Amino acid sequence: MKKKILASLLLSTVLVSQGAVLSSVQANTTDEKIAAQDSKISNLTAQQKEAQKQVDEIQTKVSAIQSEQEKLQSENEKLQEESKKLEGEIAELSKNIVARNESLENQARSAQTNGTATSYINTIINSNSITEAISRVAAMSEIVSANNKMLQQQKEDKKAISEKQVANNDAINTVIANQQTLSDDAQALTTKQAELKVAELNLAAEKASAESEKVTLLEQKAAAEAEAKAAAEAEAAYKAKQASQQQTLAASANTTFAAQVQATSSSSSASSSDDDSSYTPAVTTVSQRPTYSSNASSYPTGQCTWGAKTLAPWAGDYWGNGGQWATSAAAAGFRTGSTPQVGAIACWDDGGYGHVAVVTAVESTTRIQVSECNYDGSGTQPIGNYRGWFNPTASRGTVRYIYPN
């Protein structure tokens, strides 16, 4: 009996000992899982912080681009208002200068024809008394003083119009440069926004707890990465296209007016070429015409004004937008009119920016050919003949011609 009791006690002791060992093993396994989970959570938290940092950096870049776009847009609006104001002032000064030119030319012709100086002397000599002679001398002094004031005002107005033309041209160039920057920024912004979306979705995927939600987010991330890649490729293609267009524009700057006329003559009928001479206005001499540079660097590359200055180097350096050229040219002493002539600059004023081109062939006042730049408004179209024969009076508003002689 004692042996059975002892055996039972020994068996119980063994069983209890085994149970304790099993409990200890289970406890250790749970602790390891908890520790592993804690490590996983710690790692995920660190990854989330890094992902959030990436999101914040991209968001800062996006905000900077958006702020720059708003700043440039605001600057463009102010510059366009300034250019419009200067355009009006230039037009008024031009009108006054042209009117005074006509008055001074009439006085000069009258002096040559009627012998004004001799007439003044005779007027004094033929006075009936010293008092009358003094009165006549005083009257002639007033006339001379008025003429001197007119000449001084003419000089001041010409200086003022020159300064305003430079300021107007600077404003126009800045607006166009800002528009190019806005276009470039738009491409960069699209890429950055796509990258931001990838970073945000990546963060959301890391924070997802449910596997199905995480799979969905990963799919969205893959799609966003594809969009980001496409946006980057589009930006690269845009830059490549810009570079190619700039090369084409630079190459077109090597052309000459004679080459454009030759190209037009090759594609036109013989009768069209024969009619050109009938539209050549009589040559008149204009005194004190300004001297301009022979290159088109004062105008934005790719604009119609740049193309016209390239083909007609005799044109002014700061004549503004295309619609302002005829007014500026008249103030500078160039003849303007409504009759087309080979070699003349056609100037269309539509109430906006306007347009200019150089005439290369003429059949009649309603049928001409021109070489021009930026006819399509893209700013990347090289110099060339894009319209063939056309009616200039039915295109882009009122047309006037600036003659080179």
Q: What is the pLDDT along the chain (405 residues), one digit of tens a residue?
A: 444 444 454 444 544 445 554 555 565 687 887 788 788 878 877 887 887 888 888 889 889 988 988 998 899 899 889 888 988 988 998 889 899 888 888 877 776 666 555 666 777 777 788 888 788 788 878 887 888 998 999 999 999 999 999 999 998 999 899 888 888 988 888 898 898 888 878 877 777 776 777 788 788 888 888 888 899 989 998 888 878 877 887 787 788 888 888 878 776 654 444 444 444 444 444 446 788 999 999 999 999 999 999 999 999 999 999 999 999 999 999 999 999 999 999 999 999 999 999 999 999 999 999 999 999 999 899 999 999 999 999 988 899 999 998
Residues 239 and 212 in one domain: yes
CATH of the domain at 276: 3.90.1720.10
Decide if 43 is inside a domain. Answer: no
CATH of the domain at 100: 1.10.287
Residues 79 and 223 in one domain: yes
d(CA 230, CA 64): 23
- Examine the fold and report which residue of 252, 286, 316 is the final residue of a domain before the chain moves on: 252
d(CA 359, CA 347): 10
* Residue 191 belongs to domain spanning: 53-252
Residues 238 and 96 in one domain: yes
Phi, psi of 403 (to 5 degrees): -95, 145
Q: Are 393 and 399 in contact (CB under 8 A)?
A: yes
Answer whether 0.75 is exceeded by the pTM. no
Residues 214 and 264 in one domain: no
d(CA 381, CA 242): 11
Residues 217 and 97 in one domain: yes
Decide if 316 is inside a domain. Answer: yes
